[in-house]
Amino acid sequence: MPARVDSNDSIAGIDRIDRIDILGIPFDSRTRASAADAAMELISAPGADVPFIVTPNPEIVRLAGKNPRLREAVLAAALVLPDGVGITLAARILGRPLAERTPGIDVAELVLERLAKIGGSVYLLGAKPGVAERAGARLCEKYSGLILAGARDGYFTDDAAVIADINAASPELLLVCLGSPKQELWAYDNRAALKTRLMACLGGSLDVFAGDVRRAPPVFRRLGLEWLYRLAREPRRIFRMAALPLFMLTVLREKIAPRGGGKKEARE
C-alpha cells in the first residue's frame, strides 16, 4: 500500500492534508475545484520563493525516479496534481484512490476564471513563437477581466532576459509551458528570482488555449482516454507512451512487494 501522508504539513501556506505516495511522488488528492481553491490561496499569500504547481503523468514519475534533480523539483512543488489516467489507476491498484484526476489544463481554466473576477494578471511563457500571444488573446476574450501581463515563446536561450521581462510585468500567475522535464526544472531553478505569485507547469496547454491543438472530445475525457485521442492524432507520441506499461509494471511490483514493507512512511 502506498504511503499516505496525513499531516499538518504546509507548503507556502496551504495545507497539504491528503497526499498519496505513488512510486516516491506525493500526489495531492483533491478535486479540481479544491485544487483551484488552493492555487488561489497561494496567489493571495506571497512568500520568498514563488510556489509552483506540477502535474506529473506516468512518464514524469518514471523520469523522476531516474533523475534526482527532477525529483527534487517535483518534491519542492506546492501542489502535485495527478494528470493522466495512469496515475489515478496506479493509486487505485495500490489501494489508495485519489479524489479525482486533475488535469493541469482544467485546473488552470478554473484558476483563470477566478483570477479574471478579481482583475488578476497572467503571463504566458512557452510554445512556438506567436502561440502564447494568440492564447492570451483568446483567454482574455473568454475570461473577461483577465489581464494579459505578457506572452513569450518557449524557445529562448537567455534566461535572464526572460526573467527580467516577467519581473517587469509582475503577474499574479505565470504559466510555464515548456514541456517536461524542462518546465519543472525551469520553475524550480528560477523560483527565487521571479516576481510572480504562482507558477503552473502546464506542458502543451498554450497550444490548446491558442486553438492550435484540440483537446479530446468530452466522452474520451470522461472515460480517461484522452491519451488515446492524442495518440491517434499524433502517432509519434507512441514512443513517449511506452513509459506507461513500464510504469504499470513498477506499480504492480510495488503492490506485490512494497518497498516500505507496507508501512506508513512520511516522505519529508
Residue nearest to ligand UDP as judged by C-beta position: 154
Least distance from ligand UDP to the Cβ atom of residue 160, Å: 17
Q: How far is the CB of 108 from ligand UDP (least distance, A)?
A: 12
Instruction: Specify the 3-state DSSP secondary structure of 221.
Output: helix
| Residue 76: all three cell numbers together | 519542492
Q: Which is nearer to ligand UDP, 82 or 204 (CB)?
A: 204
How many residues in total does the chain contain? 268
User: First CA to last CA across the chain, in angstroms?
Assistant: 18
> Which of 46/224 has CB closer to ligand UDP?
224
Least separation in angstroms between residue 202's CB and ligand UDP is 7
Nearer to ligand UDP, 69 or 128 (CB): 128
d(C-alpha 230, C-alpha 227), whole Å: 5
C-alpha–C-alpha distance, residues 83 and 54, integer Å: 9
**Within 13 Å and on the Cβ side, how many CA atoms surround 267?**
21
Is residue 177 within 8 Å of residue 154, measured between CB atoms?
Answer: yes
**Positions in the binding site for ligand UDP (CB under 6 A):** 126-128, 154-155, 177-180, 182, 203-204, 206-207
Q: Kindly tell me which of 94 and 123 has the beta carbon lying closer to ligand UDP.
A: 123
Rounded to the nearest whole angstrom, what is the least distance from the CB of residue 256 to ligand UDP in the complex?
30
The three grid cell numbers given for residue 170, joined into one nine-digit string: 509582475
